[in-house]
């Protein structure tokens, strides 16, 4: 069991609490080094990382090939802006376009929110050729998450993220996720696009129901609207396919957004555009000072290559199936989870009553047991470990998580 931070570590924590805006609530330890799926804090405590920096560090920590790519580019050129050509972003965009059958061009930025901002702007730019502003609505889904800028937080159909930031921009319509009839009824002549996560991440790890993405594609085609897939969390191999929407055979978007694992820890996002919209953003219409950073792009090229291997995806699916099976068996033995769901290594375990508000408590106890896990709402424990996690690392992490869950159960039983 890991104890309280040392005086040295507490000094760092105190300094952070004084200097940071209080919009974060970091755990009470200071991470210092990492290797593979393990990290160590400044007091030498080890943790198995089953959160991967919120589904970012998908090749683990200090992957030698990623380190080599970053160092090689650091020795050449860090930044010149998009006023000039450099090779890494050009090659990355070529490779991203080749990785997605629908894509014709790509735009590079620094984050998922920026990628989704670009997608929203592109959809409205496309609609502006034939429609007045009041007919440029975008349908999004309850439980979805698309970012924290003013536009993307409005696209996020979760009121808890809206509170205090009003007035929010107009032009978004919310619909229940996986409700075929509701979305069919929501589409109208005002609709210019439908934006959806193939697997909802922050909303609780909810995959699209069988046939739902196909249904959205048909609706968009029938109503002259664009289909946007937000693959910021679910993309880059997280679900056992390079892109999560590829589980729905033959369904292609008009626009797709990526970030998180694309840089495996370096800030980068991307928006891929299909033929209908690929030529619309002409010079001056959109931009990003740091977008296409050569160092981040050099790393992202390695990530894309690694995630494109079928053997790597087979490994993700196998590890995911074993993890889900183990969590289900553990949950059943203790009547703890109402459901364990997900795809690949994007997994959510929903706590049943009377433990439904205990997900944050689980993460806190788990850290003391030496394993890092996430939440996806008050009642969902989220596991999104590095896709490169070894069997030994995964087994160790799950054993520690089970010990933490047992401690939570014993504590609540004693309190009751």
Residue 269 sits in a domain of what CATH number? 3.40.640.10
Q: Of the candidates 307, 338, 369, which is a domain's last residue?
A: 307
Q: Parallel, antiparallel, or unpaired: how do β-strands 172-175 and 137-141 relate?
A: parallel
* Distance (Å, whole) CA 299 – CA 69: 6
If DSSP codes are grouped into helix, strand and coil, which group holds residue 134?
A: helix
Q: Parallel, antiparallel, or unpaired: how do β-strands 374-375 and 380-383 relate?
A: antiparallel
Whether 70 is in a domain gets the answer no
Whether 90 is in a domain gets the answer yes
pLDDT in tens, 276-331: 999 999 999 999 999 999 999 999 999 999 999 999 999 999 999 999 999 999 99
180/218 same-domain check: yes
Q: Of the candidates 255, 275, 307, which is a domain's last residue?
A: 307
* Distance (Å, whole) CA 205 – CA 324: 13
183/319 same-domain check: no
- Domain enclosing residue 57, as ranges: 7-63+310-415
Containing 365, the helix (H) or strand (E) segment is helix 359-368
Q: Residues 28, 9: contact at Cβ < 8 Å?
A: no
pLDDT of amino acid 415? 60
HSE value, Cβ hemisphere, 13 Å, CA-based, for 44? 1
Domain total of the chain: 2
| Average pLDDT over the chain, rounded to an integer | 96
207/250 same-domain check: yes
- Given its phi and psi angles, is residue 29 left (phi above 0), alpha (psi -120 to 50 degrees) or beta? beta
pLDDT of amino acid 414? 64
For residue 57, give the nearest of 261, 325, 259, 231 by alpha carbon: 261
Q: Of the candidates 307, 339, 370, which is a domain's last residue?
A: 307
Per residue in 347-383, is it b (16+ CB within 10 Å) or e — as a string?
bbbbbeeebeebbebbbebbbbbbbbbbbbbebbbbb
pLDDT of amino acid 411? 81
49/88 same-domain check: no
285/318 same-domain check: no
Tokens 């555009």 belong to 273
If DSSP codes are grouped into helix, strand and coil, which group holds residue 315?
A: helix
Whether 407 is in a domain gets the answer yes
DSSP 56: T
**Residue 244 predicted with pLDDT over 80:** yes
- Note the helical H segments in 59-141: 64-74, 87-99, 112-128
Q: How confident is the model at residue 27 (pLDDT cuts 50, 70, 90)?
A: very high
pLDDT of amino acid 389? 98
Whether 293 is in a domain gets the answer yes
* Distance (Å, whole) CA 373 – CA 53: 10
**Residue 416 predicted with pLDDT over 60:** no
pLDDT of amino acid 255? 98
How many helices (DSSP H) and strands (DSSP E) are in the chain? 12, 17
**Percent of the residues in the chain that have a pLDDT greater than 70, as a whole number:** 99
Per residue in 29-47, is it b (16+ CB within 10 Å) or e — as a string?
bbbeebebbbbbbbbebeb
**Residue 22 predicted with pLDDT over 90:** yes
33/82 same-domain check: no
Whether 245 is in a domain gets the answer yes
* Distance (Å, whole) CA 324 – CA 331: 10
Whether 189 is in a domain gets the answer yes
Q: How confident is the model at residue 254 (pLDDT cuts 50, 70, 90)?
A: very high
pLDDT in tens, 114-155: 999 999 999 999 999 999 999 999 999 999 999 999 999 999
pLDDT of amino acid 385? 98
When pLDDT is averaged across residues 69-92 and rounded to a whole number, the result is 97
362/324 same-domain check: yes
* Domain CATH number, residue 22: 3.90.1150.10
Residue 155 CA from chain centroid, whole number: 16
DSSP for 262-281 reads GTBTB--EEEEEETTTTT--
379/301 same-domain check: no
191/262 same-domain check: yes
C-alpha torsion angle, residues 75, 76, 82, 85 (rounded to 10): -160
326/286 same-domain check: no
Whether 288 is in a domain gets the answer yes
C-alpha torsion angle, residues 358, 235, 342, 203 (rounded to 10): 40
pLDDT of amino acid 229? 98
Model confidence, pTM = 0.96
Instruction: State both tokens at 345.
Output: 């290594």
pLDDT of amino acid 1? 87
16/93 same-domain check: no
Total Cβ atoms within 10 A of residue 338: 14
50/134 same-domain check: no
Whether 69 is in a domain gets the answer no
pLDDT in tens, 206-227: 999 999 999 999 999 999 999 9
Tell me: cis bond preceding 354? Omega within 30 of 0 counts.
yes
Q: What distance, in Å, lies between the first and last C-alpha atoms of the chain?
A: 24
pLDDT of amino acid 253? 98
């Amino acid at each position: 069991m890991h104890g309280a931070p040392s005086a040295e570590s507490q000094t760092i924590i105190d300094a952070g609490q004084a200097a940071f805006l209080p919009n974060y609530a970091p755990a009470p330890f200071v991470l210092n080094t990492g290797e593979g799926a393990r990290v160590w804090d400044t007091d030498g405590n080890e943790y198995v990382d089953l959160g991967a920096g919120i589904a970012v560090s998908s090749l683990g920590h200090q992957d030698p090939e990623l380190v080599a790519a970053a160092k090689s580019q650091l020795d050449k050129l860090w930044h010149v802006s998009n006023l000039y050509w450099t090779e890494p972003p050009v090659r990355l965009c070529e490779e991203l376009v080749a990785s997605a059958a629908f894509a014709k061009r790509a735009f590079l930025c620094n984050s998922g929110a920026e990628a989704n901002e670009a997608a929203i702007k592109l959809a409205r730019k496309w609609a502006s050729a034939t429609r007045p502003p009041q007919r440029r609505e975008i349908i999004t889904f309850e439980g979805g998450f698309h970012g924290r800028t003013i536009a993307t937080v409005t696209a996020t159909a979760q009121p808890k993220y809206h509170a205090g930031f009003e007035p929010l921009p107009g032009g978004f319509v919310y619909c229940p996720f996986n409700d075929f009839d509701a979305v069919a009824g929501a589409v109208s002549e005002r609709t210019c696009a439908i934006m959806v996560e193939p697997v909802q991440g922050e909303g609780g790890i909810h995959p699209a129901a069988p046939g739902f993405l196909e249904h959205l594609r048909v609706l968009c085609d029938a109503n002259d609207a664009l289909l946007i897939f937000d693959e910021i969390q679910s993309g880059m191999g997280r679900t056992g396919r390079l892109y999560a929407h590829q589980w729905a055979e033959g369904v292609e978007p008009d626009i797709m957004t990526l970030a998180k694992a694309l840089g495996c820890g370096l800030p980068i996002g991307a928006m891929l555009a299909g033929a209908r919209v690929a030529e619309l953003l002409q010079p001056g219409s959109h931009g990003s000072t740091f977008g296409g950073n050569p160092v981040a792009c050099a790393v992202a090229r390695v990530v894309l290559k690694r995630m494109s291997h079928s053997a790597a995806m087979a490994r993700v699916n196998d590890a995911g199936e074993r993890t889900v099976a183990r969590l289900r068996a553990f949950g059943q033995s203790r009547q703890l989870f109402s459901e364990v769901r997900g795809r690949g290594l994007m997994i959510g375990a929903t706590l049943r009553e009377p433990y439904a508000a205990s997900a944050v408590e689980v993460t806190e106890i788990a850290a003391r047991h030496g394993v890092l896990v996430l939440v996806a709402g008050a009642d969902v424990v989220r596991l999104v470990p590095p896709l490169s996690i070894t069997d030994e690392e995964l087994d160790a992490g799950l054993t520690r998580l089970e010990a933490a869950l047992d401690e939570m159960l014993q504590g609540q039983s004693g309190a009751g």
